[in-house]
Structure 1
Amino acid sequence: MLNWTGKLIGAALGLYFGGPVGAALGILLGNAFDKTQARRAQGDIGGGSKGVLQTAFFQATFLVMGKVAKADGRVSEQEIEIARHVMARMGLSERQRLEAMSLFNEGKDPEFSIETVLTDLADVIGRRATLAQIFLEVQLQVAYSDGQLTVNERNVLQTISNYLGINRIQFEIIHQRIRAQMHFSEGQHQQQPRSSQSQLANAYQILGVSASSSDAELKKAYRRLMNQHHPDKLVAKGLPEEMMSIAKEKTQEIQTAYERVRKARKAA
């Protein structure tokens, strides 16, 4: 049954205060009110039901991933590979994998606009800032899959941040942490490992502290990051269960970086 409450009240108030023009404006505002109320009733707004949030997060992840991959004009093999890698880490069923690839391809379309997707995602995330940050981290990894961040890719990432309520300072902190994580991970798996000092610097950056930070500050930063990326807590907040493995990898990376710093400090 359609909800006409907002439109009727809006029209009445508009007509009373502004005549026919006011009535028309009142109907438009009332219509927006009705839509909002309908979505709220379905649990779509302000951090609605867990199932709605998980579905929205899953769909937005691959739609926006396609947009990020296409931002520089072409989709590289590395970007396609990391999209497949994310799907593999999520352990998707064949049906889910096909859906994810369909969403990814839809996002690549030059005519596709991510604004509506991000607006809807922001609505269901509500005040769950950690989920917004996790979403941005995944997209940053896609953008950096070819080893660099182009201007167009950065612009898309800034758009994501703006819609999800992540300010510029927070964006840069997350950006630097993800870049350091990628360099740190690459350094561990290379046949000719990066220099010890380079890896140590990356470890500090992952934790968001400097070499001059006290042991207490180091431990506090480590615990905060582990708490933010704890898989069970993220799933409880609405992260799709399929993405739990990705959250686990994040905590393992943070743990490894922390141990690297602690080892260096003990040796000193």
Structure 2
Amino acid sequence: MALRIPLAKLTKADGRVSEVEIRAIEEIMEKDLRLNADSRKIAIQIFRTAVQSPESFDSLAAQFADAFRNQRQILELMVDILMRVAVSDGKLASEEERMIRSAVQIFRLPASFYEQLRSRYMKTGKGAYDVLDLDPSATDDEVKKQYRRLVREYHPDAIASKGLPEEFTELAEEKFRAIHEAYETIKKSRGMS
């Protein structure tokens, strides 16, 4: 249940946990993580405890990073969830942004990953290129190479083979679909075969 602990601190970043953020978390638990009713109850109890915990966001993020230090996909998925919940109310508060940027640093992810997520969820930036972490000036070969790399990295079978809980496989499948859709969008816009 370490997945929800840094998330709890993020929701309190703007001073209170809003109903919109709670609904976003419940939706992630139900639809993305596919937790049953009993598991959701346990997760909500852990979440409530974490909100009141005296530990800092950075401390909890560091614990999460230690637990998944060799599994970059899981760290990226955690940042993705943090961003989704942070923007669920239609804005990204400065303290929420600070926390997510901090998580990106603690997880040792590139700053471009944060920018990619921010563009994706705040509806700014270059869309499909952001999903593939590419600049629109990338050549067709660079697009194909990056697409193939990401597909290998996020393929559900690759994630499942690591023995991770099913909830991570579900999130990887969502990321995998987003990568494929972005690639198809770029291919179509460029007339690539």
Q: What's the TM-score once normalised by structure 1's chain length?
A: 0.63
- Equivalent residue runs for 1:17-166 within 5 Å: 59-89=1-31, 90-109=33-52, 111-166=54-109
1:226 maps onto 2:151 in alignment? yes
SS of aligned partner of 2:20? helix
Aligned partners of 2:12 and 2:51 also within 8 Å:
yes
Structure 2: how far apart are the matches of 1:100 and 1:226? Answer: 30
SS in 2 for 1:71: coil
Percent identity (aligned): 30
Aligned equivalents of 1:238, 1:69: Cα separation in 2: 29
- Indicate the RMSD between aligned Cα atoms, in angstroms: 2.4
Contact 2:151 2:179 in 1 (8 A): yes
Q: Which has the larger radius of gyration?
A: 1
Would the alpha carbon gap of residues 135 and 235 (structure 1) be closer, same or farther in structure 2, given more than 3 Å must change? Answer: farther
Greater alpha carbon shift after TM alignment, 109-118 vs 79-88:
109-118
Structure-2 separation of matches of 1:70 and 1:236: 35
Letter in 2 for 1:87: M
Q: What displacement does 1:255 show?
A: 1.0
Larger fraction in helix: 1
How far is 1:143 from its partner? 1.4
5+ unaligned residues in a row in structure 2: which ranges? none
Whether 1:208 aligns to 2:133 is yes
Structure 1: stretches of 5+ with no match in the other structure: 1-58, 185-197
Question: Which residue of the partner structure matches residue 175 of structure 1?
Answer: 114
- When normalised by structure 2's length, the TM-score is 0.85
The SS at the match of 2:191 is helix
Deviations 1:186-238 (CA, angstroms, capped at 9, x unpaired): xxxxxxxxxxxx89x31122212222211110111112222222222223335
| Structure ranking higher on relative contact order (CA contacts 8 Å, 6+ apart) | 2
**Aligned pair partner of 1:236 in 161, 172, 179:** 161
Contact 2:83–2:121 (CA<8 Å) still a contact in 1?
no
1:178 maps to a residue whose letter is L
Q: 1:204 to 1:249 in 2, by over 3 A?
A: same
